Amino acid sequence: MSDFKHNPNKGNLFKNKYKEEGSKQPDYKGSVALPDGTQKEIAAWVNTRTNADGKEEHFFGLTLSDKQEKKVESPVESPVESPVAAAPVKDSGLPF
């Protein structure tokens, strides 16, 4: 899906299912293509304001940013264990 590109003047927004309550993360995230075909990321926050009649209105605050390359996480390799030197053995009287 990372190779998907929108046609110019097209895009999408999805609810941010990873948003933590009270955080400043966007409520919606997606991508959009500008008229020249440049791919951008879009983020939207649901905001509230009071209009001239004293009623609350909801609106979206939007931000466009350059498309970020997704990092591919490599598996964490366990540290190489160094060989442990054997503890000296006291003479047990055995011939070998």
Residue 60 lies in a domain: yes
Question: Looking at residue 94, what is its pLDDT?
Answer: 60
Residue 16 near residue 26 (C-beta atoms within 8 A): yes
Q: Is the pLDDT of residue 19 over 90?
A: yes
Report if residue 49 sits inside a domain: yes
Whether residue 32 lies inside any domain: the answer is yes
Q: 4 lies in a domain?
A: no
* Structure tokens given for 32: 């959009």
Taking the complete model, does pTM exceed 0.85, yes or no? no
Q: Average pLDDT for residues 7-28, to the nearest whole number?
A: 95
Q: At a CB cut-off of 8 Å and minimum separation 6, what does 83 contact? A: none
- List CB contacts of 48: < 8 A, sequence separation 6 or more: 56, 57, 58, 59
User: Other CB atoms closer than 10 Å to residue 39's CB: what's the count?
Assistant: 14
CATH code for the domain of 60: 2.10.70
d(CA 13, CA 82): 51
